[in-house]
């Protein structure tokens, strides 16, 4: 009996619904494993379908097709190492999230996911049936247990596998990013290792899907919880891990170990990868955005250039009489620094035509928010016209602070197909701009150096829809606003929690009211990159009609 086992880990980027393409990625990884003399090649959870496929998996024609692709893949991988791949499985009327073990041209074992997550972005209780607690499967000279993703966050599955003869654990995952999540994952997996005494392989996928980005960062733990292998975050890769069996069982040999960047870099990378994959997987090659001379649109422009290249980004300045000379200069300087196309489209003529058209109806009425919103919606109309004419997807540029309190015009500056900074509070927008100016990485397609002029970062924020307008005229200063929002939204806290943290009760109640009455806007807003567990979309589902307010 051999005392060595080689495992090939395929940390790859599937596309939801691309069964043929995902099978092709799996086959290529299997061939690399075969060439490297692997005993087994492992891919992540639900890899054949892509993840998170949501209700698509429940469609009978789709899950039947996915299962057929797995069975065909098993035949293609008959002569070589075992292939393990995630995908759906049907037994009777029940639909399972399964891990398919393929050897000798057939699927010889299936592990059915037991614990179905039903929180944050996950709704698997609605989609899948819960599988039973199962034992290990055999591969060559060893017995392997595979808790599927959520199963490894609970004690019972891993303990059952250890008690029924598993010699090490392979955990296939579809685990999306949120800030500082790696430590949470690592702590849970160390707990499983300590409880079972077995080595554990944590295999995660990479790539963007709608609002979620799967960040990879796969790793291998030896008994005692020591890291033996750590793969990079966000990068697709195929890595080979060797195990050696001694008197006390299997241990992984030291392998590749990639240090992970800090949270600021990971957040920025998520926004870049989210946009890059959203465009690639939906078929958009080019984007455009309104570049106002403000900090939000400047950061979105930088993200877009880093994701797609400057030749694929159009920036459009749409000035009115309220647009300052500084904004005109700053927008053009930012576009030039990024190297992207820059258009200048004044809105004066269009606004005059709309004002004339409405004059008989608005006669003797004082100007108010209506006239401000006309400007924003006119800009949205012009940007959408450019999007239609040139086939470029329009990006929206509202930060999380604005999205939270509705400080944006529906059908105006909210128009567009994707919002890279939707989950980034305004205070973090400023710091992220500074971070990008000071840092450049190989995965960025944009230029090095200061791509966002310093004056954009340091000047007081303004929508410039009326004379001498500043954001602070309508909202608490952003450090206060963001602090309150973090408590109310990200932590699901109360007014009393805000007061205990040092914020004025009046400010907290005002912000809470704005959050609730803006739900209808968020319901119609573009998707955007998820950075936190409190992102607006699947993480937070509130009614549009809601008259309750915290009495605190």
**297 marked as binding residue:** yes
**249 marked as binding residue:** no
**287 marked as binding residue:** no
45 is a catalytic site residue: yes
Angle, to 10 degrees, between the axis of helix 478-485 and the axis of helix 505-517? 70
Task: Show the tokens assigned to 548.
Answer: 């309750």
113 is a catalytic site residue: yes
Task: Show the tokens assigned to 92.
Answer: 């009777």
**397 marked as binding residue:** yes
Beta bridge partners of 287: 313, 393
Please give the helix or strand (H or E) that residue 519 lies within, else none.
helix 519-523
Instruction: Detail the DSSP E strand segments found in 113-159.
Output: 137-139, 142-145
**376 marked as binding residue:** no
State the catalytic residue, choosing from 77, 102, 124, 149: 149
State the catalytic residue, choosing from 45, 167, 392, 486: 45
Closest alpha carbon to 486 in 535, 526, 437, 442: 535
**525 marked as binding residue:** no
Closest alpha carbon to 269 in 439, 392, 406: 439
List Cα–Cα distances, 140 to 37, 76, 143, 202, 264, in angstroms: 13, 19, 8, 21, 43
Q: How far apart are CA 89 and CA 111, in angstroms?
A: 10
**534 marked as binding residue:** no
**339 marked as binding residue:** no
Q: DSSP string covering 390-446, please?
A: HT-EEBP---HHHHHHT-S-TTTTT-SSBBTTTT--HHHHHHHHHHHHH---TT--S
Closest alpha carbon to 339 in 312, 299, 300, 307: 312
**175 marked as binding residue:** yes
**291 marked as binding residue:** yes
The answer to whether residues 413 and 290 touch, using CB atoms and an 8 Å cutoff, is: yes
The helix/strand/coil state of 209 is strand
509 is a catalytic site residue: no
CA angle 475, 480, 485 (to 5 degrees): 85
**310 marked as binding residue:** no
**472 marked as binding residue:** no
**294 marked as binding residue:** yes
**521 marked as binding residue:** yes
State the catalytic residue, choosing from 113, 286, 400, 422: 113
The conformational region for residue 150 under phi > 0 = left, psi -120 to 50 = alpha, else beta, is alpha
Q: How far apart are CA 401 and CA 419, in angstroms?
A: 13
Which residues are known binding-site members for L-glutamine?
A: 175, 181
Residue numbers in the known binding site are: 175, 181, 290-297, 373, 397, 402, 521
Annotated binding residues for ATP = 290-297, 397
Residues making up the binding site for deamido-NAD(+): 373, 402, 521
- Give me the active site residues, please: 45, 113, 149
């Amino acid at each position: 009996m051999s005392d060595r086992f080689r495992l090939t880990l395929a940390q790859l980027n599937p596309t939801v619904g691309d069964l043929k393409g995902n099978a092709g990625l799996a086959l290529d990884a299997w061939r690399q494993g075969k060439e490297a003399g692997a005993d087994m090649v492992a891919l992540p959870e639900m890899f054949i379908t892509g993840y998170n496929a949501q209700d698509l998996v429940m469609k009978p024609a789709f899950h039947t097709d996915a299962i057929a692709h797995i069975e065909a893949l098993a035949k293609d991988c008959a002569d070589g190492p075992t292939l393990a791949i995630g995908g759906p499985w049907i037994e009777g009327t029940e639909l399972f999230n399964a891990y398919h073990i393929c050897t000798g041209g057939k699927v010889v074992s299936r592990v059915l996911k037991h614990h179905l997550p039903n929180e944050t972005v996950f709704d698997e209780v609605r989609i899948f049936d819960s599988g039973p607690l199962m034992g290990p499967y055999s591969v060559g000279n060893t017995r392997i247990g595979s808790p599927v993703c959520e199963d490894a966050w609970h004690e019972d599955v891993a303990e059952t596998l250890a008690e029924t003869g598993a010699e090490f654990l392979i955990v296939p995952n579809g685990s999306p990013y949120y800030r500082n999540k790696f430590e949470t994952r690592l702590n849970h997996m160390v707990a499983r290792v300590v409880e079972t005494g077995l080595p554990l392989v944590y295999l995660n996928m990479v790539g963007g899907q709608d609002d979620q980005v799967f960040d990879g960062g796969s790793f291998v733990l030896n008994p005692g919880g020591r890291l033996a292998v750590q793969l990079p975050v966000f990068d697709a890769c195929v890595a080979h891990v060797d195990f050696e069996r001694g008197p006390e069982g299997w241990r992984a040999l030291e392998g590749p170990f990639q240090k992970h960047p800090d949270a600021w870099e990971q957040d920025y990378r998520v926004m870049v990868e989210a946009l890059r994959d959203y465009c690639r997987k939906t078929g958009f090659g080019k984007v455009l955005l309104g570049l106002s001379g403000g900090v939000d649109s400047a950061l979105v422009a930088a993200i877009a250039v880093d994701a797609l290249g400057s030749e694929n980004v159009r920036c459009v300045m749409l000035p009115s009489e309220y647009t300052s000379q500084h904004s005109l200069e700053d927008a053009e300087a930012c576009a030039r620094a990024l190297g992207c196309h820059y258009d200048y489209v004044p809105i004066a003529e269009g606004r005059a035509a709309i004002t004339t058209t409405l004059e008989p109806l608005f006669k003797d009425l004082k100007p108010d928010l209506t006239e401000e919103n006309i400007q924003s919606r006119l800009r949205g109309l012009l940007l959408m016209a450019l999007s239609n004419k040139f086939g470029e997807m329009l990006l929206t540029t509202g930060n999380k602070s604005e999205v939270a309190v509705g400080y944006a015009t529906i059908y105006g500056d909210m128009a567009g197909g994707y919002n890279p900074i939707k989950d980034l509070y305004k205070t973090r927008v400023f710091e992220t701009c500074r971070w990008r100016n000071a840092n450049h990485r190989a995965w960025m397609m944009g230029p090095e150096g200061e791509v966002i002029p310093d004056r954009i970062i340091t000047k007081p924020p303004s929508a410039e829809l009326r004379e001498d307008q500043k954001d602070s005229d309508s909202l608490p200063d952003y450090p206060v606003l963001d602090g309150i929002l973090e408590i109310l939204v990200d932590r699901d806290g109360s007014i009393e929690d805000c007061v205990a943290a040092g914020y004025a009760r009046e400010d907290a109640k005002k912000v809470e009211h704005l959050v609730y009455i803006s739900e209808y806007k968020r319901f119609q807003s573009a998707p955007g990159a998820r950075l936190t567990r409190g992102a607006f979309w699947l993480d937070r589902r509130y009614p549009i009609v809601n008259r309750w307010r915290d009495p605190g």
